[in-house]
């Protein structure tokens, strides 16, 4: 028998969350963002469950080629475009839409006569200052692309830095709209947070990611309240138990000390499985469906949980680390991170099962 840990991916939850996103999109077309192996869910599996999307957004050629090999025929957006001239023939071979975000890419494209036509996205830096063209350099880049005989269409795109935060999108949105007025091009702006929170930022193509996986883009708002269902459940079993007396300690660094008699379950999941090592004692966890807490440090292959008073808890008991019944957002918040990081960090050694 394999070690008792697995991730279960719910195709039904993915499909449901896509419908929620589509309702917010109100007719705008939708890229399902499946970068980072679909936030840990598996790019092929996610594409199958999300097949009602209008296209898929990925990071690199590896993921794009995996999607094509899996039979995906819809448009594929490459969020960082191409990196080297040798990448260019792949765009045509696999019919991919690159994001062009720097002058070097424009030049590579200019120097490489393509054997057929491609669509491109042109990224505008509206203030995040990570990727994209600013107010002065946008026009020359746009013109160069429009004049390229093999570029079929150019869509303007930008990304918000604080769509989930106090700053919101208004500053970037106003700036982008003022600039984009001078261009006859479709627009793509919104990630999950902007899609939910700022209907005026929808544009022609929206780009939700995290909400499709059933997590909330907002710290102050649960996924459940947004009608999102967790797509990934990470579960394991208790493989050993201990009884502690007051004053006895547990785990590396002896970081947790029992204040009284307590029962502890040792769970077959550690940071080498993707559980966040920085999750402190007190991080929520379910044992036999009952909510309890971790105690002591997360180690490579194990965590310890308080099972005092949980009926029937012992070796073989079911443990939910996150997912159905316990939001990854909540576990992430306890560990000082985001559900994005937890989902993406699911380790390759964890077997994945698919559920309806």
Ligand X SMILES: *Cc1c(COP(=O)(O)O)cnc(C)c1O
Task: Give, to the nearest 10 degrees, the angle between helix 103-111 and helix 135-147.
Answer: 10
> By C-beta, is 208 or 265 nearer to ligand X?
208
Given the rule CB under 6 A, which residues bind ligand X? 33, 35, 79, 159, 191-193, 207-210, 217
Q: What whole-number distance in Å separates Cα of residue 12 and Cα of residue 56?
A: 18
Q: Are 77 and 31 in contact (CB under 8 A)?
A: yes
Instruction: Provide, rounded to whole angstroms, the least separation between the CB of residue 192 and ligand X.
Output: 3
Q: Are 191 and 209 in contact (CB under 8 A)?
A: yes
> By C-beta, is 125 or 191 nearer to ligand X?
191
What are the φ and ψ backbone dihedral angles of 228, each rounded to 5 degrees? -100, 145
For residue 148, give both structure tokens: 């390229």
Strands 76-78 and 284-287, bridge-based pairing = unpaired
> By C-beta, is 155 or 192 nearer to ligand X?
192
* Residue whose C-alpha is closest to residue 31's, from 226, 192, 217, 231: 192
Contacts for 71 with CB less than 8 Å, ≥ 6 apart: none
> By C-beta, is 35 or 297 nearer to ligand X?
35
Catalytic residue among 35, 142, 213, 275: 35
Instruction: Provide, rounded to whole angstroms, the least separation between the CB of residue 245 and ligand X.
Output: 46
Q: How far out from the chain centre does Cα 65 lie?
A: 19
> By C-beta, is 208 or 323 nearer to ligand X?
208
Task: Give ∠ CA 241-235-350 in degrees, rounded to 5.
Answer: 105
- Known active-site residue 213: no
Instruction: Provide, rounded to whole angstroms, the least separation between the CB of residue 30 and ligand X.
Output: 11
> By C-beta, is 193 or 328 nearer to ligand X?
193
> By C-beta, is 32 or 350 nearer to ligand X?
32
Instruction: Provide, rounded to whole angstroms, the least separation between the CB of residue 167 and ligand X.
Output: 15
Instruction: Provide, rounded to whole angstroms, the least separation between the CB of residue 155 and ligand X.
Output: 13
| Beta bridge partner(s), residue 234 | 7, 322
DSSP string, 115-163: SS-EEEEEEB-SSS-SSSB-HHHHHHHHHHHHH-TTEEEEEEE---S-T
- Known active-site residue 35: yes
DSSP string, 267-289: ES--GGGT--TTPPTT-EEEETT
Catalytic residue among 22, 142, 181, 252: 252
Q: What whole-number distance in Å separates Cα of residue 122 and Cα of residue 120?
A: 6
What are the catalytic residues? 35, 252
């Amino acid at each position: 028998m394999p070690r008792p840990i697995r991730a279960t991916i719910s195709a039904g939850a993915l499909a449901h969350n896509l419908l929620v996103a589509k309702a917010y999109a109100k007719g705008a077309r939708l890229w399902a963002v499946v970068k980072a192996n679909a936030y840990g869910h598996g790019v092929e599996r996610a594409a199958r469950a999300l097949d009602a999307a209008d296209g898929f957004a990925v990071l690199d050629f590896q993921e794009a080629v995996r999607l094509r090999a899996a039979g995906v025929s819809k448009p594929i957006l490459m969020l960082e475009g191409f990196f080297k001239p040798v990448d260019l023939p792949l765009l045509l071979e696999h019919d991919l839409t690159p994001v062009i975000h720097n002058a070097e890419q424009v030049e590579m494209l200019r120097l490489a006569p393509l054997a057929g036509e491609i669509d491109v996205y042109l990224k505008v830096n509206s203030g995040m200052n990570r990727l994209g063209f600013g107010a002065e350099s946008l026009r020359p880049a746009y013109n160069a692309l429009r004049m390229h005989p093999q570029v079929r269409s150019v869509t303007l795109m930008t990304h918000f830095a604080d769509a989930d935060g106090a700053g919101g999108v208004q500053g970037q949105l106003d700036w982008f709209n003022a600039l984009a007025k001078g261009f006859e091009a479709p627009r793509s702006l919104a990630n999950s947070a902007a899609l939910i929170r700022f209907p005026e930022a929808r544009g022609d193509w929206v780009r939700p990611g995290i909400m499709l996986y059933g997590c909330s883009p907002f710290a102050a708002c649960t996924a459940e309240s947004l009608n999102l269902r967790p797509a990934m459940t990470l579960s394991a079993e208790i493989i050993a138990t201990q009884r502690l007396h007051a004053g006895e300690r547990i785990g590396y660094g002896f970081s947790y000390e029992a204040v009284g008699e307590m029962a502890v379950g040792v769970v077959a999941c550690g940071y080498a499985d993707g559980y966040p090592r920085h999750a402190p004692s007190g991080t929520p966890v379910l044992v036999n469906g009952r909510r309890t807490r971790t105690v002591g440090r997360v180690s490579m292959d194990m965590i310890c949980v308080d099972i005092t008073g949980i009926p029937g808890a012992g070796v073989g008991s079911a443990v939910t680390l996150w997912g159905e019944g316990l939001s990854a957002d909540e576990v992430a918040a306890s560990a000082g991170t985001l559900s994005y990081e937890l989902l993406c960090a699911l380790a390759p050694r964890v077997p994945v099962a698919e559920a309806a």
